[in-house]
Structure 1
Amino acid sequence: MRFASLALAIGAAFTATAAVAATNWLTVVDTAGGGHRIGNPAAKVKLTEFISYTCTHCGEFAREGTNAVDVYVASGKVQLDVRHIVRDPVDLTAAMLANCGPAAKFPRNHATLMLSQPKWLPIMSRATAGQKARWSTGAGPARRRAIASDLGFYDLMVPRGYDRPTLDRCLSDEALATRLAEQTAADAKKWGVRGTPSFAIDGTLLAGTGTWPMLQPQIDARL
């Protein structure tokens, strides 16, 4: 009987280990803390990223570091908490689209918007007076729909499985817009974030760290 019990225990342990190993941590997303915690909640390293979609340095970080960070998260050793620092109406519009739909869709929504920044940011910088007026006057949902249309955000999100009515509903979510603005203010106060991108590891804001080559050694040192 003891051998049978031992065999059952070993089998159960193997099954549990296999289940953990098979977990796709890139699709495990927890929003309870206000941001999006992506990955293993028991990860050894907790990485926090403060980003703005209209921040060019954030775009540079995304292009050089997104795939590498994904590898760390997929391993189960690092959990990434993405937190929005909303700077302007375009930034808010992008953040609301990134938050559109189930939380599990956020990581790829976020990556899509950040990695395509070189396509839409120049359009924003060349905006006409008429476009800027549409982006800054009138009701919030109408302003955000104009931004999404002018900058091609709708076209970016359709391949992600969204249709125009769904995206418009997300852009009309005033409660979400308010929450993102309040979260920005709360995080700036709590963490002392002065610019983007900024990073924290295990609850400590990292000074002078804004690129992947600067961040990676600090993650590795804690693994």
Structure 2
Amino acid sequence: MKFAAAFFAAICGTALAISSPVKAQSSDSKSAWSDRVTVSAEGGHVMGNPIAKFRLTEYMSYACPRCGQFEKDSHVPLKANYVDRGHVSFEVRHLILNGIDMAAALMARCGTRDRFFGNHNALLGNQITMLNRFDALDIKAKAATREGTVSERLIKTAQGAGLFEFMQGRGYGRAELVACLSNKEEQQILTAMTNNAIELVKPERAQTPTFTLNGKYIGNVRDWAPLEAGLSRLPQ
């Protein structure tokens, strides 16, 4: 916590010296900053003001219970108190841990970019069901998810975890989901993103969720309460 406090203090000081305030959207604007979604050069999805003074990035996994808890705790206050005010943007990047995680990440990213954060929230809300359903598979079914091409393995993993049914409930067709799971370019983006994340935070610290602010690693912060304590001190 002391490291985190010092980190935020350093960021605040630097920002005040080199940045001018970014104006938030007016209260009568037709849409909030949290409705604005762009894609970063690294392939992550960014919610909020593209030129926000503070760029918060989460490196996460859909197989990580702590990531699920972070999403539950932060979903409303992060948007309302920070992103919508225009001075903080929030980017989700993936640190893939296993096949279920890769399948879920590909499904989260399926379709247009504006669908991502809704899928992200929904998948994390369904996380326990997804993991339990896969764990309940018999030995033969689990073994099948390790056979075939990468795309074939991901399709069988998604099927075993109940992800096809879940995402079809969100309006996707099975063929569309199969295409997303089989998208080699997206698979490569997620693999590169994971490798870059590990290089950034170093293997001994490559836990999920992990956070950076303006590209700098925030030490000893993996939950919403300590993260918000730092965000609340950022100048607007």
**TM-score normalized by the length of structure 1:** 0.86
Equivalent residue, structure 2, for 1:220: 232
- Which structure 1 residue ranges, 5 or more long, are not aligned? 1-16
Greater Cα shift, 24-33 or 109-118: 24-33
* Alpha-carbon contact 2:103-2:154 (below 8 Å) kept: yes
How far off its partner does 1:58 sit? 0.9
Residue deviations 1:42-94, cap 9 Å, x none?
22321110101101111121222222222222332320010000111111000
2:75 aligned with 1:66: yes
What RMSD, in angstroms, separates the aligned Cα atoms of the two structures?
2.0
**What's the secondary structure of 1:182's corresponding residue?**
helix
Residue among 52, 58, 75 paired with 2:61: 52
Whole-angstrom distance in 1 between the partners of 2:118 and 2:164 = 15
Greater Cα shift, 104-113 or 59-68: 59-68
1:185–1:20: structure 2 CA closer, same or farther, 3 Å change rule? farther
How far off its partner does 1:107 sit? 0.8
Residue among 7, 23, 38 paired with 2:47: 38
How far off its partner does 1:181 sit? 0.7
How far off its partner does 1:19 sit? 9.1
2:28 aligned with 1:23: no
Residue among 189, 213, 230 paired with 1:201: 213
Equivalent residue, structure 2, for 1:166: 176
What are the equivalent positions in structure 2 for 1:42-191 lying under 5 Å apart?
A: 42-71=51-80, 72-191=82-201
How far off its partner does 1:20 sit? 8.3
Whole-angstrom distance in 1 between the partners of 2:157 and 2:28 = 42
**What's the secondary structure of 1:21's corresponding residue?**
coil
The structure whose residues are more often helix, as a share, is: 1
Residue deviations 1:123-149, cap 9 Å, x none?
233332122212111122221121222
Whole-angstrom distance in 2 between the partners of 1:77 and 1:22 = 18
* Alpha-carbon contact 2:46-2:90 (below 8 Å) kept: yes
- Which structure 2 residue ranges, 5 or more long, are not aligned? 1-24
The one-letter amino acid of 1:28's match is R
Whole-angstrom distance in 1 between the partners of 2:175 and 2:181 = 10
